[in-house]
Amino acid sequence: MATSRIQFNAFDMSCIMHQSPGLWARPGDQSVRYKDLDYWVDLAKTLEAAKFDGLFIADVLGVYDTYQGSHDASVRRAMQVPVHDPTIQISAMAAATEKLGFGVTVSATYEQPYALARRFSTLDHLTKGRVAWNIVTSYLDGAARNLGLERQISQDERYEIAEEVVDVCYQLWESSWQDDAVVADRENQVYADPSKVHEIGHKGTYFTVPGIHLSEPSPQRTPVIWQAGTSPRGRAFAARHAEAVFTVAPTTTTLRTYVDDIRRIAGEEGRDPRSVKIFTEITIVTAATDREAHDEYQEMLSWTDYEGALAFYAGVTGIDLSQLDPHQPLEYVDTDSARFALEIFSKADPDRTWTPDEVAKFVGIGAMGPVLVGSPQTVADELERWIDDADIDGFNLAYAVTPGTFEDFAEFIVPELQRRGRYWNDYDESTTVRERLHGVGNKRVRDDHPAAVHRRRLPGAAS
Amino acid sequence: MATSRIQFNAFDMSCIMHQSPGLWARPGDQSVRYKDLDYWVDLAKTLEAAKFDGLFIADVLGVYDTYQGSHDASVRRAMQVPVHDPTIQISAMAAATEKLGFGVTVSATYEQPYALARRFSTLDHLTKGRVAWNIVTSYLDGAARNLGLERQISQDERYEIAEEVVDVCYQLWESSWQDDAVVADRENQVYADPSKVHEIGHKGTYFTVPGIHLSEPSPQRTPVIWQAGTSPRGRAFAARHAEAVFTVAPTTTTLRTYVDDIRRIAGEEGRDPRSVKIFTEITIVTAATDREAHDEYQEMLSWTDYEGALAFYAGVTGIDLSQLDPHQPLEYVDTDSARFALEIFSKADPDRTWTPDEVAKFVGIGAMGPVLVGSPQTVADELERWIDDADIDGFNLAYAVTPGTFEDFAEFIVPELQRRGRYWNDYDESTTVRERLHGVGNKRVRDDHPAAVHRRRLPGAAS
């Protein structure tokens, strides 16, 4: 792996403050343009010019309302609210680019798989195979309450539902239309051969879907599956389904433990452990010299928004620090989320005395993820260390400021990584997201992926 | 009304055969490019160059499977299957145009209103107010079976659900965020004032949505509401909610009866009957002379696809003619749909002996709608007659061939209508769909529209 190309996706969300609470107010930041199609088209062009693999768009279908037991702080600080449907801007970006991939986050908790499968097939057709589905199982109580449930169902049941949603989608994508079903025979006015279009006949616990898929086979059929599970149940889901796993970790050591675990479970599921690509979140603040980069970082920190940062932190971890003095050392409640947060903090900086104010500063740039600050050489050294020590494949690059962070990456980091043979000089012949993961020509799911089980049900299937 | 501008929308669907079964195979037709983003971007540019008001995109979330009790004929003839999600291509078309509106069909039967409202707010933001929602209550049994219901629920209950879905959406759009909630105050790092963002607290029969809307106010807030109800229950829904009603009728007399009825019910609902704009489906085959137009029409008819036409007809009416001899005169079963179909046929041409073959020819171009064939003068006379006799506001122009029908309309019909003062020479200052209906400056729902009830709940509301 030592000299392989490092893959980069930009990490954004259809909202104002994504991972850097407060920095929307910094001069030059354009995140308030999130509701302007030009922002997204410009961003896509910028990313393609820098030869990013893709743009990864996060989503929550709810608001962070744990801090002070209210959504007020999130609304005031535009902390991931307002937030738009992430599927809508994709086609405008696809029309303006040729190579950039698009990772789209959609919850598998509240969707009818029959309609959801069509939505992703539409995206895959219109982008010519440049779409990935980041599967989330919505974790916010507020989302559940607004989407027909009295309260959040258990995490285990969310994953059970997700398993069935994904399974139905796989069936629709892989086992309904044979590859040669569409003949488009103008002379005989026959578009498709109905004997090669099959009903899936699904009757499960949560869904009944007897029919055929509404879409003909798209370039990838199944969009590339992303997932970001961290809990034991989440890891099992990710190891089973994810072609790319997205995570966040404080150190390469922590990350390596996670990576080894995911790959081990994937192996137990009968998959090639190395076929599961792993990306970690990172934020980069760079300039020509270390000194300039650190100065810029300090200046950025001065924009950090205490309330927005703690509203986000509370929403993600369930820990409301609003009643504490900003400089009071923390005692943690004992929950999975809290332990996870504590682990991040203590590992990220074990010598720091963690107070609400220190948490806000930590979260203030790059949210819960590591921030690399320095010259191109310094940052490239660190990127290589993360890749090699943690045995991962790439990064999802969060922004401190947008599009500034991505522009700085293109200007400073890309040439340095290219010199080291860790970044491509141009896109290769791949046209789909999956080919980026598995090489040119590999547009369809691998034989060891659970979706392939359904492909093999098709008459005349090769394997 | 005699000299007012006639409004035109292009009528398309994210599929191959929309309203002209068989003509996809005719040389020059590009409907097979439906899965290619360029088709949609090119179409949008063509329509904007011709100064169309908008592009109206139909949808079904199911297949026509009544003919021979199977979807085989629909699949073979690409008769509205495969079919894509109509929300996905909008942003690419919006990025390529400035004035064209977009009508998007989404069923209110299977959606969570909390997520649906965000999807339309996203569309309205990204298009800068150029979006309309065509509300349908999915009528296909096959759709119901694939979307979690054992069989189709009754039409009455579909409308009950739709009433509540729409009501929740209105609340989210109109009564959650005050107009002055967003301050985007960079100096104080305050994006929105949470005291001006309200929870809607909805607890209804089908849905519980306590929270705030996830989107800040979009240019139109509520997208322009389109509806196409024909049954008594459907008419009541349309007259109550629709800002534009879409219908299809065989004659101006039939249409006038419907129009008067809709406007009467709208008046009973407390709305200005004239504020409900009415559009009827029409297909135009035109050329420089009547003779050339009729020759082209005959040549087009020769492409009509018997099986595709009858599969569509069966899906829409519930009447399967597959067991009959093509030349056997029809006896109709006694259902609402059948009566409706029979009325269309008998009124469209009372002297014709209706056989399966004649039905297929009738449906073959323009589906169940009228077809105007002739020179620009002939067609313009007819268009004016429809507008004036039926007291309607405009047309949804279906295509016989795409984009040929739209190009011919631009070349032949637009200049003739412009000479008559019935088509604008250029777009006016309106930037939103609603301003097209109600004049420049009227971006928000009218005070007499049911959505405005929720607007009035906002603190500081003007009315």
Shortest Cα distance, chain A CAs vs residue B281, angstroms = 25
What residues contact residue A149 under an 8 Å CB cut-off, 6+ apart?
Answer: none
Q: In the predicted model, what is the mean pLDDT of residues A376-397? A: 98
Asked whether the beta carbons of residue A215 and residue B83 sit closer than 8 angstroms, the reply is yes
Pick from A374-378, B92-96, B219-223, B230-234: least confident? B230-234
Give, to the nearest 10 degrees, the angle between helix B155-175 and helix B113-126: 50
The predicted pLDDT at position B158 comes to: 87
pLDDT recorded at residue A151: 63
Name the helix (H) or strand (E) containing A10.
strand A7-13
Q: Which chain B residue lies closest to A84 (C-alpha atoms)?
A: B122
Q: Which residues of A touch B62 (CB under 8 A)?
A: 211, 214
In the predicted model, is pLDDT for residue A231 greater than 70? yes
Closest CB to A32: pick one of B16, B85, B184.
B184
Is A344 a residue whose pLDDT tops 80?
no
CA distance B36 to chain A (A): 6
What tokens were used for B204?
Answer: 């209804």
What the block records as the tokens of A143 is 């989302």
> Using the beta-carbon criterion (under 8 Å), do B147 and A194 form an inter-chain contact?
no
Which chain A residues contact residue B91 at CB under 8 A? 37, 40, 88-92
Q: Are strands B394-398 and B7-13 parallel, antiparallel or unpaired?
A: parallel
C-alpha to C-alpha distances, B34 to A71, B24, B28, B260, B272, nearest whole angstrom:
42, 11, 14, 37, 39
Q: Give the integer Cα–Cα distance in Å for A112 and A35.
A: 27
A84 → closest Cβ in B25, B87, B118: B118
Chain B residues in contact with A17 (beta carbon < 8 A): 191
User: Shortest CA distance to B145 belongs to which of A323, A48, A211, A284?
Assistant: A211
Measured CA to CA, the distance from residue B58 to residue B85 in angstroms comes to 10
Q: Which residue type does A304 have?
A: T
Strands B371-374 and B277-286: what pairing? Answer: parallel
What is the pLDDT at residue A150?
57
pLDDT 10s digits, B396-427: 999 999 999 999 999 999 999 999 999 999 99
Residue of A nearest to B207 (CA): A148
User: What average pLDDT does range A397-415 have in this prediction?
Assistant: 98
pLDDT tens-place string over residues A115-128: 999 999 999 999 99
pLDDT attached to residue B137: 85
Provide CB contacts within 8 A for A12, sequence distance 6+.
A18, A43, A55, A56, A57, A58, A399, A402
Quick one: pLDDT band at residue A155, thresholds 50, 70, 90?
confident
Residue B331: phi and psi, rounded to 5, are -115, 130
Which of A62, A91, A208 lies at the smallest CB-CB distance from B148? A208
* Interchain contact B210–A (C-beta under 8 A): yes
From the CB of residue B382, how many other CB atoms can be counted at a distance below 10 Å?
Answer: 17
Per-residue model confidence (pLDDT) at position A97: 98
Q: Please give the pLDDT value at position A354.
A: 86
Q: pTM for the full model?
A: 0.96
A409 is written with which tokens? 């990456």
Whether residue A447 has pLDDT greater than 80: yes
Mean pLDDT of all residues in B364-369: 91
Q: Which of A78-82, A396-400, B324-328 is least confident?
A: B324-328
A214 contacts in chain B (CB < 8 Å): 61-63, 81-84
pLDDT tens-digit readout, B235-281: 999 999 999 999 999 899 999 999 999 999 999 999 999 999 999 99
What DSSP assignment string belongs to A60-121? -SS----GGGSSHHHHHTTBS-SB--TTTTHHHHHHT-SS-EEEEEEESSS--HHHHHHHHH
Q: How large is the average pLDDT for residues A390-413?
A: 98
| Residue A281: strand, helix, or coil | strand
Task: Tell me the C-alpha distance between B132 and B130, whole Å.
Answer: 7
B99 has a pLDDT exceeding 60 = yes
- What confidence category does residue B1 fall into, taking pLDDT thresholds of 50, 70 and 90? very low
What pLDDT score was predicted for residue B232?
Answer: 87
Question: Can you tell me whether residue B83 is helix, strand or coil?
Answer: strand
- Chains A, B: CB pairs < 8 Å: 235
CA dist B81 and B92 (Å) reads 22
Smallest CA–CA distance, residue A351 to chain B, in Å, is 31
Pairing status of strand B54-58 against strand B7-13: parallel
Indicate the SS3 state at residue B367: coil
Q: For A145, which of B37, B190, B210 is closest by C-beta distance?
A: B210
User: In chain A, what is the straight-line distance between the N-terminal and C-terminal CA atoms, in Å?
Assistant: 30
A30 reaches B (C-beta below 8 A): no
Q: What is the pLDDT of residue B142?
A: 76
Contacts of A221 (CB under 8 A, 6+ apart): A124, A173, A174, A444, A445, A451, A455
Q: What is the reported pLDDT for B337?
A: 61
For position B340, what pLDDT does the model report? Answer: 64
Other Cβ atoms closer than 10 A to B274: 12
Measured N-to-C along each axis, helices A232-241 and A252-268 cross at an angle, to the nearest 10 degrees, of 60
For residue A72, give the chain B residue with the closest CA. B194
Instruction: List C-alpha distances in Å: A106 to A34, A45, A101, A133, B316.
Output: 18, 24, 16, 7, 33
Domains of chain A: 7-303+368-455 (3.20.20.30), 305-364 (no CATH)
Q: Does B301 touch chain A (CB under 8 A)?
A: no
Residue pair B332/B342 in contact (Cβ under 8 Å)? The answer is yes
Chain B from 260 to 279: CB within 8 A of any A CB = none
Q: Say yes or no for a CB contact (<8 Å) between A212 and B148.
A: no
Q: Distance between CA atoms of B357 and B345, rounded to whole angstroms?
A: 13
Does the CA dihedral B434-B438-B440-B442 come out positive or negative? negative
pLDDT of residue A459: 81
* A62 lies within 8 A of chain B by CB: yes
As a whole number of angstroms, the distance between CA B181 and CA B200 comes to 15
B306 touches chain A (CB under 8 A): no
Collect all residues with Cβ–Cβ distance below 8 Å to A409 and sequence separation of at least 6: A8, A50, A284, A286, A397
What is the per-residue pLDDT across A86-143, written as a single tens digit (0 to 9) for each? 999 999 999 999 999 999 999 998 889 999 999 999 999 999 999 999 999 877 777 7
Mean pLDDT of B7-34: 97
Q: Identity (one letter) of the amino acid at A21?
A: P
Give which of B358, B350, B360, B307 is closest to B329, Cα–Cα: B358
CA distances from residue A56 to A17, A131, A190 in whole angstroms, order as listed: 15, 10, 39
- Does residue A375 have a pLDDT over 60? yes
Residue B2 has a pLDDT of 42
Give the pLDDT band (50/70/90) at residue A340. Answer: low
Give the pLDDT mean for A373-398. 98
Best to test chain B binding among A124, A126, A176, A188 (most B CBs inside 10 Å)? A126
Residues contacting residue A463 through CB under 8 Å, at least 6 positions apart? A447, A452, A455, A456
Integer Cα distance of A71 and A76 in angstroms: 9
Residues 342-381 on B with a CB inside 8 Å of A are none
pLDDT over threshold 80, residue A172:
yes
d(CA B47, CA B40): 10
Q: Is A209's CB within 8 Å of B84's CB?
A: no
Locate tokens 């990127």: which residue? A383
pLDDT above 70 for B335: no
pLDDT tens track for B136-195: 987 777 778 888 765 667 878 888 999 999 999 999 999 999 999 999 999 999 999 999
List phi, psi (to 5°) of B219.
-50, -45
| Residue B364 CB coordination number (10 Å) | 25
ipTM for the complex shown: 0.96
Count Cβ atoms below 10 Å from residue A96 Cβ, excluding itself.
18
pLDDT above 70: percentage of residues in chain B: 95
Average pLDDT over residues A71-83: 98
Report residue A463's pLDDT band, with 50, 70 and 90 as the boundaries: very low
Cβ pair A25:B186 closer than 8 A: yes
CB contact under 8 A, B126 and A209: no
